[in-house]
Amino acid sequence: MNNAPAIFLGVFLVFASAWLGLIFAPYAQLSGLAPVVPAEGGDAYPRPLGGLAAQGRVIYRVNGCIYCHSQQIRSERFGTDIARGWGPRRTVARDYIYDSPHLLGSMRTGPDLANIGARQPSAQWHHRHLFNPTWTSPGSIMSPFSFLYETRKIVGQKSVDALPIPKGYPLADGYEIVPSDHAKALVAYLQALDHTTPLPEAEEQ
């Protein structure tokens, strides 16, 4: 008996239904998404990241922040993200139209960062936290990213970027710790993470 046509048809149907479900249906639903412009005027949302923040996104990727941090707020119906104060609303597909490759993350060893720019706008806080997480968050298990900072001799005046050093930290007199360009870009990216603009499709039914 020659089963070749039936096998071929079966294989074709398997691939066709996978393509329809995983490629075509999401494309038809989401490809038309565009930024929204508020009726009263003002900036469209979302917007592409600016220069320094866009560079910082690369630093976020290469340093593996995604292994411990997500960037997605779940609906009130599926978790406690909103109750924890991680954002005022759930995130939806439109929030990510410029986020490529997306950095949604799947692990939450640390808090969600989708709105960290709104929750913690201070650059100095971020620098101190990245240099040594326990300075701002006692008991933190986050890995320090002190290699993004430079310890150098103060020449003339102290730098305006120099980190305030806690008492007891072994830093020789006449030295300061300053952020590298990579650290500055990373913090610009963290400050730009803000998905708090209301979107109609994000409202809970």
- Does the bond joining 138 to the residue before it have cis omega, within 30 degrees of 0? no
Q: Which of 143, 176, 194, 196 binds ligand HEC (CB under 6 A)?
A: 143
Contact region with ligand HEC (CB under 6 A), list: 19-27, 39-47, 57-65, 152-160: 57-65
Using CB under 6 A, which of the segments 25-33, 36-44, 59-67, 156-164 binds ligand HEC? 59-67
- Range 62-67, long-range pairs (CB < 8 A, 24+ positions): 63/145, 63/186, 65/113, 66/103, 66/105, 66/107, 67/105, 67/107, 67/109
44 Cβ partners below 8 Å, 6+ apart? 35, 36, 37
**188 near ligand HEC (CB under 6 A):** no
For ligand HEC, the closer CB: 106 or 157: 106
190 counts as binding ligand HEC under rule CB under 6 A: yes
Q: Which of residues 94-123 bind ligand HEC (CB under 6 A)?
A: 109-111, 113, 116, 119-120
Site string for ligand HEC, 68-87 (x = CB under 6 A): xx------------------
Q: Under the criterion CB under 6 A, does residue 15 sit at the interface with ligand HEC?
A: no
Q: Which of 145, 182, 183, 188 binds ligand HEC (CB under 6 A)?
A: 145
Q: Which residue is nearest to ligand HEC (CB)?
A: 110
State both tokens at 87: 């954002």
Cβ(96)–Cβ(102) under 8 Å?
Answer: yes
Structure tokens at 132: 């040594």
Token pair for 105: 């993350």
Tokens of 78: 């599926």
Q: Are 105 and 72 in contact (CB under 8 A)?
A: yes
Binding site for ligand HEC (CB under 6 A): 60, 63-65, 67-69, 109-111, 113, 116, 119-120, 133, 137, 140-143, 145, 186, 190
